[in-house]
Structure 1
Amino acid sequence: MRRPALYSSSRPAPAQQATAAQPTPATVDPTPSPAPRRRRLSLSSPALLWAAIALLSAVLALSLSPAMHPTQRKLTQQDINAAVLKTLETQVLPSEYARAYDNIRPSVVRVVSYVKRSRLKDEMPRGQGSARPKPLGPAQGNSNANAEDDEIEAGVGTGVVIVDKGIILTNLHVVSGADHVKVTFFDGLESSASITGVQPENDLAVLQAQKIPDDMIAATMRSTGDLQPGDKVLAVGFPFGIGPSASGGIVSGLQRSFRSPEGKQEMNNLIQFDAAANPGNSGGPLVTMDGEVVGIVTAILNPTPARTFLGIGFAVPIENAATAAGLPPF
């Protein structure tokens, strides 16, 4: 079989092709003809093309050979367990309570109620002209203490932001009868607040702050439907005005009843817990280890005249509290 001719990459011009096509008379050139030029290699040759493909295939196969790239050993469960144990040995991880506190802290506020001196003087029984409400928080200085219309601190409690527009849940007894309510957010911002709703049967009040932080974060609320005795919970608030303070415990029971020491009110369907709570914790959130609110701290049981914690606290389930703010149930 005749092999095709090899051509260079350049082609003669059309005029040159026409000239070459015309016959020329045979002449004898006295000069010797030059030596024939060597053929140029070109990939247009099928043989060379297939040879190049074969060479590239061989190089590719060699590069993918297991001998060149040994496969990595697959991780086993033992390897993962060893890595976890090593991490636990070398790093101190935050506790469940610490993580829960970090999640709820931006939503917790300090609630202070104020009353006017003039109103207190008018409402005081005879023979008690020197009596004054005892503040639950630190003593507050007042440069105009002799002014009749000066407001004095009547009580300190806690609240939790449930809507990032500044809607706050707290206890009704914290703000009841107040002439002025002030809230302090996690970043130190202070704002007046107005009472926009109440639910007396559950001792709940809804506040609307006039000013809110730019990065306000509302708490996440969680249904109590799967809450069980023994579940860990965290209570966050301002006991005796100190805080924010956190105390950890467990759910002691569900659907409890509580009657106020004065016997004026009885509440039902309460969450019983053993995380420490004292005056000032009222209105604060009771949260799970995920930092989700399951209740609003409202009362402590102490059969003695002392207003201190003996190990039994009560919280209103968040379902009841949410309806007080007009939010849909879970």
Structure 2
Amino acid sequence: MNMRQGFAKTVLELLAEDERLMVLLCDIGVWGFRQGFADHPGRVLNIGILEQATMGVAAGLSATGLIPVVHSIAPFIVERAFEQLKIDFCYQRLGGNFVSVGASHDYAALGCTHHCPGDVGALKNLPGMEIVLPGCAGEFAVLFRQAYANGNPTYFRLSETGNSAPQPVEFGRMLALRKGREATVVALGPMLEPALAACEGLDVTLLYATTVAPFDAQTLAANCPSGKVLLCEPCFGGVLAPDVLRALFPRPVVVDFAGQDTEFSRNYGKAREHDAALGLDAAGLRQRLARLIHAH
């Protein structure tokens, strides 16, 4: 089951469990929620390609005590409706759930209009916004159930590719999957499996993060004996660098990050091909990690 299928399954289950839940689709995911339209009339709505207006509708629902779930493609839900997320939800301190697909270059063949590597960095600038990057469908189910009704605006970033098996994730917490002395690798969501392969045979710590905001500074501070950190980010690189520096202050720290450069992707191809070209596969991460270990 991919993440989009897992998203629909989880939310359909919650529609039957929690009468406060409302689903607003922006003309995608309609087929996946076909049973929801039938079983819960008036609680699953296809608003259409109107992301900014949909955010306003969602904020109004939230203000009445309902729990909205808005679903669209990442550049439209984040970049097109950024002001509505900022003012309608974060400034008003309203709760809501914003579930995207197609972030970074998952929809590589559709060109720049459907690329969105800047979503995580943009949303980290919104006070109060929570950001979640599950690594697979099973992790999404756990994380969504833990956070969907917490009263905060929360962004869930679904990926077309994911890890083959779920980890015992918890909202707001990192997992220490292995411990070593020469460097600490922080892998976000779907970056876990290439990071695991890159760390093979090396004396390094590997932390797995599915919650970007709030950032788990405590776990990082307790698992970074070297002061060297490699961030593996499936978005523009360096998004978590300020969090790392704050978590480890006042210790001297060396931080490198494997992520997409802040440039437009002008080539076509599949997401995995883009990852390899950007050095986000196991070989590319291994090369960065070796360089970091030997840095002075």
Specify the TM-score bucket, using the shorter chain as the normaliser: under 0.3
Computing the radius of gyration over CA atoms, which structure comes out larger, 1 or 2?
1
TM-score, normalising length: structure 2:
0.24
Q: Which structure features the higher share of strand residues?
A: 1
User: Higher helix proportion, which one?
Assistant: 2
